Amino acid sequence: VINETAFTIKQVELQKLEKLPDGTETDHPVPGAAFYLFSADGSQLGGSLTTDDLGMISLQLPAGSYYFEEVSPPPTFTFDLQDGERITKYPFAVPENGTETVTVTVYNRKLSGSLSIRKTVENADGQPLDEEQLAKDFTFSVAFSDNGKYSYRKSNGTVGELASGGALTLNHGETALFENIPAGV
């Protein structure tokens, strides 16, 4: 007797998408993430799999239980987190019945960093600054390569938001700190 369900082959797709540093899920594909495929008992099936330009890995598998294990996020990304722990294993099952594609949707978090802009004024002759020099405003144009809008905090306690190409004004000794700027911006 042959068990025909053991020969049921289904399309399986892993979809890798971007999650913003604040945890917001997007529909932006993440190419270049590396995975291995395992059966539920921990046996590795095949070699390394990498998401394509659409953030996809497509393959066909017989009915059973499996998991993808992420081994390497692409540059400017890190593993997704759950309760402060990084997520690397993504279990899924291929059912014996039905014809629908099995889709496993997973995320990588975009890395982020800070941008600090500080203005320092010095007299060429080394003399101390006078009150007029200390009070002088200096205006900077700040452009972000993603044309985004980011919040900042000045060292004097004021907060604001600046769109790409916007003007930022600082005095001597003043700093503006932008936090959570996505990597690559």
User: 135 by DSSP, 3-state: which?
Assistant: helix
Structure tokens at 121: 């004024």
Percent of residues, the chain, with pLDDT higher than 90? 81
| pTM tops 0.75 | no
Confidence of residue 1 (pLDDT cuts 50, 70, 90): very low
Give residue 8's pLDDT. Answer: 77
Structure tokens at 84: 């402060």
- The radius of gyration of the chain from alpha carbons, rounded to an integer in Å, stands at 25
* Model confidence at 18: pLDDT above 90: yes
Give the Cβ contact number of residue 131 at 10 Å: 7
Give the pLDDT confidence of 24-82 residue by residue, as tens digits: 999 999 999 999 999 999 999 999 999 999 999 999 999 999 999 999 999 989 999 98
Nearest to 29 by CA among 77, 67, 83, 69: 77
* Alpha helices, H only, 25-162: 131-135
Give the pLDDT confidence of 104-134 residue by residue, as tens digits: 999 999 898 899 999 999 999 999 999 999 9
- What is the distance between the alpha carbons of residues 22 and 126, in angstroms, rounded to a whole number? 45
Confidence of residue 136 (pLDDT cuts 50, 70, 90): very high
- State the chain's mean pLDDT as an integer: 92
Cβ atoms 57, 49 nearer than 8 A:
yes
Residue type present at position 36: Y
Burial class (CB in 10 A: 0-12, 13-18, 19+), 61: middle
Give residue 7's pLDDT. Answer: 65
- What is the distance between the alpha carbons of residues 73 and 81, in angstroms, rounded to a whole number? 13
Nearest to 106 by CA among 168, 49, 179, 47: 49
